[in-house]
Amino acid sequence: MKMLVIKFGRSVSVLAILLAVIPLFEHAQAAASYALPTKPGIWLSPDPRRKLSDAHTMELVQSLQRITGFRQLGFTENGLLMNESPCSSAEGAVEARQVLERARQSGHVFIIEDYSGSDEVHFGQLDEGTNYEDTRTGIRLLIWRVRLDFADFHDMEAAQDVRASFDCGFTALHELLHGLGHTDSLQEDSIGEIEEILNRARTELQLPLRDSYFGELVPISTRMISLRLRFLPQPSTQAAQAAQSARALGSAPPLKRKAKYLFFLLPHSYRPMLTVSGLVRIGCGPQR
Ligand SMILES: [Zn+2]
């Protein structure tokens, strides 16, 4: 967790100077050109280096509209996410609406940043958080930066329904849940509480469920490796298909669901930061 303290006056403690100067130095380069949001909510980054293009903003808005059913959802001119009443939508997933509303009402600031093409971020990542304090105005905020790599979603190989289960909107919700205190799985055989929540939303939307939190690395050449993520079709869809097949063949339906995979190419030099049994964490939250 970082500290960012804005203050002036003659009496400043050494600790305050240390807390203020280090992050301010980082912030100072861009401070002249943009100001951080000073009200809680979900914001588009005002940083010109991380600002979403109109196309990426539209991609995120359309995805969140589809997942939540909030058809009026969008960003205001100054970058704040707005949507209609939580009770007004009959579409989308209730679970996803609750996640988005919890983040909007949390009192925290979430800043969505564009890390497209970055080697640091694969699909999505939440930073370690910043405790912001402005002693001049008395404003204190916890600021999270939600980093999204839109290029990764275009570069991956997956069936259309798997793409709908794992896109920028679902990834943004994943990172928001980290900011709300939820954690990822540390066990190979567990999906983790965040993906359990998102799988309930996928169930409502009749989308494939994420079957593993961890990705598997598969070498495909001397220069490239493939990372794959496993999904399972909805049981209800599978059961319906099996019942249809059984009727056609006059036999018992198959019980086993066939996994679907998402593939993503990485350079052979890729070194995952965190692994369990050689598996790769996808959608990492803050390193605590
Ligand atoms: Zn995560």
Q: Where would I find the beta strands (DSSP E) of the chain?
A: 2-6, 41-44, 74-75, 81-82, 109-114, 124-126, 130-134, 139-148, 209-210, 214-219, 224-232, 260-267, 275-276, 279-281
CA of 251 to the centre of ligand 1 (A): 42
> Rounded to two decimals, what is the model's pTM?
0.82
CA of 196 to the centre of ligand 1 (A): 12
- Written as tens digits, the pLDDT of the chain (288 aa) is 888 876 654 333 333 433 443 444 445 444 557 888 989 999 999 999 999 999 999 999 999 999 999 999 999 999 999 987 655 567 899 999 999 999 999 999 999 999 999 988 989 999 999 999 989 889 999 999 999 999 999 999 999 999 999 999 999 999 999 999 999 998 888 999 999 999 999 999 999 999 988 888 888 888 888 889 999 998 765 666 666 677 677 766 555 678 999 998 887 666 665 444 555 565 555 544
CA of 174 to the centre of ligand 1 (A): 6
CA of 106 to the centre of ligand 1 (A): 19
CA of 239 to the centre of ligand 1 (A): 30
CA of 178 to the centre of ligand 1 (A): 7
CA of 169 to the centre of ligand 1 (A): 14
Give the rounded distance of the alpha carbon of 256 from its chain centre. 30
CA of 115 to the centre of ligand 1 (A): 16
